């Protein structure tokens, strides 16, 4: 087994690290405080090719592997998880779904501008009463012959107001259950499509999370991805890749908190020496480093399996479960090591702790990941 990164992968990691320090770090506290979407930063991410990292260059993508993607996600997330979740959704959910399952016309019209970073996308599955239970879709896409008539509500949608292209999961044939669900491409500005107020969240506050409302929205049949009834399979396949992205985000949040805590512990003195030399603190740092490395190996294995076109659902869920738990544990300890300073915004760790919690919730809760893992190991 080879654990060494390629030169190209190292270059991508270093470029992402530089971008995070130079472009994301300035103003990150203010964006969090004011719930400001990182418009300029996301635009630059697009220009540098980070919003279509794994897309084939013929569709304006960067043509990189999943390992490079998770390396970049970790670096962005160390500094600004609100920006990194935009990268995750656009890459793992929207671009991936369109490239793998979309028609050539859909790729030309929608994937190319998404991969080029000219616009961003949103993945619309969750509903007020259908979050983790994707089979219970109450958003209806009624078949009207040449078009679908879309009605319903989606909530907790990342990029809800900033996106231009939305992949919406909706029920067409309720009597068929999961086999009656479709996925439709909806464009911002379509008549009957409106966006609800921005959610006031505990963490990733710079990310814009909204409810979406569909009232008799006419969607051309040409905007359906795949065959009639393919929507549920589309959602499940796409979420597997999405979990790798969120696992990488959680890993980055944990790594960022650990690095801050380590540096602070080396500089802060108590009882005549740096607190890092106190056993109580050094043991915390040792546990943090070990947990992060374990999570990193799971994330990398899931990404490697995906690149090898091998089954990766189990490891994607394992990676997300482990990394999100490590993110929560590590950020709490980072605040503790900082003491009173950890409770102050300017030291960043309190924000990372708030951001960490959502990684245990979206792309399927920790409980859902355990269900997926159990299903896989019991096959």
CA nearest to 237, candidates 252, 225, 254, 223:
225
Most distant CA pair in the chain, distance: 79
Tokens for 343, please give them: 């409770």
Average pLDDT over residues 45-60: 97
Q: How confident is the model at residue 348 (pLDDT cuts 50, 70, 90)?
A: very high
State the average pLDDT for the chain. Answer: 95
Q: How confident is the model at residue 135 (pLDDT cuts 50, 70, 90)?
A: confident
Tokens for 333, please give them: 């300890």
Burial of 216 (C-beta count, 10 Å sphere; 0-12/13-18/19+): exposed
Q: How confident is the model at residue 128 (pLDDT cuts 50, 70, 90)?
A: confident
**Could you say which architecture CATH assigns to the domain 7-120?**
Orthogonal Bundle (1.10)
Average pLDDT over residues 213-242: 95
Extended strands (E) in the chain: 121-124, 140-143, 147-158, 165-171, 181-187, 193-198, 209-220, 269-270, 273-274
- What percent of the chain has pLDDT above 90? 92
Handedness of CA 300, 302, 305, 309 (dihedral sign): negative
43 pLDDT above the threshold of 90: yes
Range(s) within the chain of domains with CATH label 1.10.540.10: 7-120
What gap in Å lies between CA 65 and CA 195, rounded to an integer?
Answer: 34
132 pLDDT above the threshold of 70: no
- Could you tell me whether strands 165-171 and 121-124 are parallel, antiparallel, or unpaired per DSSP bridges? parallel
* Residues known to be catalytic: 363
What gap in Å lies between CA 297 and CA 169, rounded to an integer?
Answer: 33
C-alpha dist (Å) from residue 154 to 65, 138, 142, 199, 206: 31, 9, 16, 13, 20
Q: Are 97 and 123 in contact (CB under 8 A)?
A: yes
226 - beta bridge partners? none
**Could you say which architecture CATH assigns to the domain 238-378?**
Up-down Bundle (1.20)
Q: How confident is the model at residue 362 (pLDDT cuts 50, 70, 90)?
A: confident
Average pLDDT over residues 216-226: 97
Q: What share of the chain is helix, strand, coil (3-state, %, to 5)?
A: 60, 15, 25
- The enclosing H or E element of 248 equals helix 231-267
Range with lowest mean pLDDT among 69-78, 106-115, 130-139: 130-139
Q: How confident is the model at residue 227 (pLDDT cuts 50, 70, 90)?
A: very high
Average pLDDT over residues 260-277: 94
Q: Over the stretch 294-315, which tens digit does the pLDDT of each residue have?
A: 999 999 999 999 999 999 999 9
Range(s) within the chain of domains with CATH label 2.40.110.10: 122-231
pLDDT, residue 364, reads 78
Per DSSP, 49 falls in state T
Q: Spell out a b/e string for 118-131, using b for 16 or more CB atoms within 10 Å of the CB, else e.
A: ebbbbbbbbbeebb
Range(s) within the chain of domains with CATH label 1.20.140.10: 238-378
131 pLDDT above the threshold of 80: no
DSSP one-letter string for 333-352: HHHHHHGGGGGSGGGSHHHH
- Overall fold of domain 122-231: Butyryl-CoA Dehydrogenase, subunit A; domain 2 (2.40.110)
3 pLDDT above the threshold of 90: no
């Amino acid at each position: 087994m080879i654990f060494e990164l390629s030169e190209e992968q190292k270059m991508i990691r270093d470029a992402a690290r530089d971008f995070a320090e130079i472009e994301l770090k300035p103003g990150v506290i203010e964006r969090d405080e004011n719930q400001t979407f990182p418009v300029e930063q996301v635009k630059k991410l697009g220009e540098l090719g980070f919003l279509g990292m794994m897309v084939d260059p013929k569709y304006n993508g960067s043509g990189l592997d999943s390992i490079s993607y998770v390396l970049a996600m970790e670096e962005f997330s160390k500094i600004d998880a609100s920006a990194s979740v935009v990268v995750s959704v656009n890459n793992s959910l929207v671009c991936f779904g369109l490239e793998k399952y979309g028609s050539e016309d859909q790729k030309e019209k929608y994937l190319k501008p998404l991969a080029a970073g000219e616009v961003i996308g949103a993945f619309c599955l969750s509903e007020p009463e259908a979050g983790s239970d994707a089979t219970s879709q109450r958003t209806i896409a009624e078949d009207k012959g040449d078009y679908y008539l879309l009605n319903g509500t989606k909530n907790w949608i990342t990029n809800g107001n900033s996106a231009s292209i939305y992949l919406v999961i909706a029920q067409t044939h309720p009597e068929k259950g999961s086999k009656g669900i479709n996925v439709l491409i909806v464009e911002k500005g379509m008549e009957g499509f409106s966006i609800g107020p921005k959610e006031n969240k505990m963490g990733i506050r710079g990310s814009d999370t909204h409810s979406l409302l569909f009232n008799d929205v006419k969607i051309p049949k040409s905007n359906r991805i795949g065959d009639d009834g393919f929507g549920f399979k589309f959602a499940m396949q796409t979420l597997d890749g999405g979990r790798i992205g969120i696992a990488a985000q959680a890993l980055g949040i944990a790594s960022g908190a650990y690095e801050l805590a380590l540096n602070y512990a080396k500089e802060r003195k108590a009882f005549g020496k740096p607190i890092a030399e106190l056993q109580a603190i050094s043991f915390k740092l040792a546990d943090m480093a070990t947990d992060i490395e374990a999570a990193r190996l799971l994330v990398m294995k899931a990404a490697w399996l995906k690149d090898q076109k091998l089954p990766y659902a189990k490891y994607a869920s394992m990676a997300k479960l482990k990394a999100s738990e490590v993110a929560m544990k590590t950020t709490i300890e980072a605040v503790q090591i900082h003491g009173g300073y950890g409770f102050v915004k300017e030291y960043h760790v309190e924000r990372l702790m708030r951001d960490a919690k959502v990684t245990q919730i979206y792309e399927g809760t920790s409980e859902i990941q355990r269900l997926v893992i159990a299903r896989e190991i019991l096959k």
